[in-house]
């Protein structure tokens, strides 16, 4: 059991209506138990397409996981395709129907049990994994020593099915290899220069280690992955290789374990017992969302404010009206006063502020779309930065600015 193939079934992904996040979740979970996803097929909900893709997938991998296409409505055809592919017939599974009854009962919806009865029909040869958070069961099929699991498409049903049922099943029934990954976060060196600086190191990596470059904003993540049968040995191998990086690019390494910048920040702040707050205009809450997306953030995040209207910046954050009149609301000076006011309002060691124009509409003071000023205030030291990124769409602009601010703050905390 080394290679998995994922099949995402659903016209809503192909039409651009929905972003497929299930594949990402499943790939991460499988990676943690040493199973590599070698390919993902995203296909439409048509019987022939599903059958052909199952065929290709079983040729490529030992494990096939499908998501989607199991709802109670007319446009879902996955179950039929499954039965045809495995030369099986679809029959009512009593256990599954009882589970369904219990599910409906707990929700006070026994009135619609009959309407959902079809959900309890499964291929006769399948092993059913019951869905605790929805009505479509997960079905496991076997083919020549290979396995397939068919799941519904709703992310909050997929996650517990994978985590609590499929992963434990795979761990119990197969001898799995370990895959251990470390992420080295590097800031301030463009990807091409970084590649040059560590080329000799990269060329001498052991055979069972692989390296990838993932540029995110102004940070490059180096992902180092080791495969083998002894987890401890792999961890040691990775540690040794990472140590060799420090003489080469040590000053630019901000973390060697955590992947997400908000977690790196969380660890730094917890370690140093520092608190933080945010005052956001153009990022509209994304900065607070990003910081609080880290579990345990209530230990250091005291609060945030989104004073979108200019008068709220003046009233709540005590930004001076003169400053706004003289420099306009999208200015270095207003960013600084927002940070100062925020630090006082929430009584924190650190405060972050943003003021800018995310677009596509122009700002009220005529500042160009894509302009942002942000201030990072640590104790009584502050730094203000300007970015101008007219090429980014609204959502990307907000994301980029928020990521970059946290990266800058991490760098300031690490390097002083």
Q: What does each C-alpha distance from 391 to 366, 371, 407 come to in angstroms? A: 18, 11, 21
Measured distance CA(152)–CA(149) in Å, rounded:
10
Cα angle 283-288-290, degrees, rounded to a multiple of 5: 90
Q: How far is the CB of 347 from a second copy (least distance, A)?
A: 9
159 and 15 Cβ atoms separated by less than 8 Å: no
Three-state secondary-structure class, residue 356: strand
What is the nearest approach in angstroms of a second copy to the Cβ of residue 116? Answer: 5
Shortest CB 402 distance to a second copy, Å: 9
Q: Measured from the CB of residue 407, what is the shortest distance to a second copy in angstroms?
A: 16
- Return the structure tokens found at 394: 């609204």
| Sign of the CA dihedral with 90 first, then 92, 93, and 99 last | positive
Nearer to a second copy, 31 or 146 (CB): 31
- End-to-end alpha-carbon separation of the chain, Å? 48
- Using the minimum distance from each CB to a second copy, give the nearer residue, 30 or 261: 30
Measured on CA atoms in the order 141, 146, 152, 156, is the torsion positive or negative? positive
Count of residues making up the chain: 416
Least separation in angstroms between CB 313 and a second copy = 9
- φ/ψ of 154, rounded to 5, equals -70, 120
Closest approach of Cβ 125 to a second copy, in Å?
Answer: 26
Q: Which residues make Cβ contacts (< 8 Å) with residue 107, sequence separation at least 6?
A: none
Nearer to a second copy, 11 or 88 (CB): 11
In the complex, least distance from residue 173 CB atom to a second copy, rounded to whole angstroms: 22
The answer to whether 83 and 39 are in contact (CB under 8 A) is: no
Minimum CB separation of residue 303 from a second copy in Å reads 4
Residue 242 tokens read as 């990472």
- Determine the Cα–Cα distance for residues 33 and 188; give it in Å rounded to an integer: 33
32 vs 124 by CB, closer to a second copy: 32
Report the residue number, 29 or 349, with the smaller CB distance to a second copy: 29
Per-residue tokens: 287: 């900065």
Nearer to a second copy, 215 or 230 (CB): 215
Kindly state the smallest distance separating residue 292's Cβ from a second copy, in Å.
3
CA 337 to chain centroid: 33
Q: Which residues in 3-109 belong to E strands, given as ranges?
A: 3-9, 36-43, 63-67, 90-92
* Least distance from a second copy to the Cβ atom of residue 93, Å: 18
Return the number of the residue (88 or 202) whose C-beta is nearest a second copy.
Answer: 202
Closest approach of a second copy to the CB of residue 211, in Å: 7
What is the dihedral sign for C-alpha 167, 228, 267, 248? negative
d(CA 292, CA 302): 10
Nearer to a second copy, 35 or 376 (CB): 35
Contact predicate 124/91, CB 8 Å: yes
CA nearest 115: which of 152, 74, 75, 68?
A: 74
Given a contact cutoff of 8 angstroms between Cβ atoms, the answer to whether 231 and 178 are in contact is yes
Nearer to a second copy, 123 or 370 (CB): 370
Residue 243, both tokens: 């140590």
Q: Which is nearer to a second copy, 154 or 412 (CB)?
A: 154
Our CB check for a second copy shows the closer of 41 and 149 to be 41
């Amino acid at each position: 059991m080394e290679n998995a193939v994922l099949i995402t079934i659903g016209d809503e992904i192909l039409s651009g209506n929905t972003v497929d996040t299930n594949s990402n979740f499943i790939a991460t979970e499988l990676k943690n138990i040493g199973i590599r996803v070698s390919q993902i097929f995203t296909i439409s909900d048509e019987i022939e397409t599903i059958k052909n893709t199952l065929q290709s997938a079983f040729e490529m991998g030992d494990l096939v996981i499908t998501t989607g296409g199991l709802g109670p409505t007319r446009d879902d055809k996955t179950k039929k395709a499954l039965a045809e592919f495995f030369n099986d017939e679809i029959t009512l599974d009593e256990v599954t129907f009882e589970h369904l009854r219990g599910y409906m009962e707990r929700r006070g919806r026994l009135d619609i049990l009959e309407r959902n009865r079809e959900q309890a029909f499964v291929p006769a040869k399948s092993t059913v994994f019951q869905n605790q958070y929805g009505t479509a069961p997960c079905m496991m099929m076997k083919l020549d020593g290979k396995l397939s699991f068919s799941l519904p498409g709703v992310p909050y049903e997929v996650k517990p099915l994978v985590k609590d049922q499929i992963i434990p099943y795979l761990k119990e029934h197969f001898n799995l290899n370990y895959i251990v990954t470390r992420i080295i976060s590097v800031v301030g060196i463009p990807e091409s220069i970084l590649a040059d600086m560590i080329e000799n190191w990269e060329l001498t990596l052991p055979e069972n280690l692989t390296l990838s470059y993932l540029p995110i904003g102004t940070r490059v993540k180096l992902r180092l992955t080791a495969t083998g049968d002894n987890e401890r040995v792999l961890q040691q191998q990775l540690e040794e290789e990472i140590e060799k990086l420090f003489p080469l690019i040590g000053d630019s390494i901000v973390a060697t374990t955590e992947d997400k910048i908000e977690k790196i920040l969380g660890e730094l702040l917890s370690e140093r017992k520092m608190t933080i707050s945010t005052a956001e205009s153009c990022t509209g809450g994304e900065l607070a969302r990003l910081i609080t997306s880290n579990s345990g953030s209530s230990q250091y995040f005291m609060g945030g404010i989104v004073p979108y209207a200019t008068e709220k910046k003046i009233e709540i954050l005590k930004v001076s009206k003169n400053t706004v009149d003289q420099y306009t609301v999208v200015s270095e000076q207003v960013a600084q006063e927002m940070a100062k006011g925020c630090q006082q309002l929430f009584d924190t060691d650190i405060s972050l502020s943003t003021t800018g124009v995310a677009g596509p509409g122009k700002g009220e003071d005529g500042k160009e779309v894509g302009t942002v000023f942000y201030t990072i205030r640590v104790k009584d030291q502050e730094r203000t930065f300007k970015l101008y990124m007219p090429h980014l769409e609204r959502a990307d602009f907000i994301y980029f600015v928020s990521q970059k601010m946290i990266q800058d703050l991490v760098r300031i905390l690490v390097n002083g």
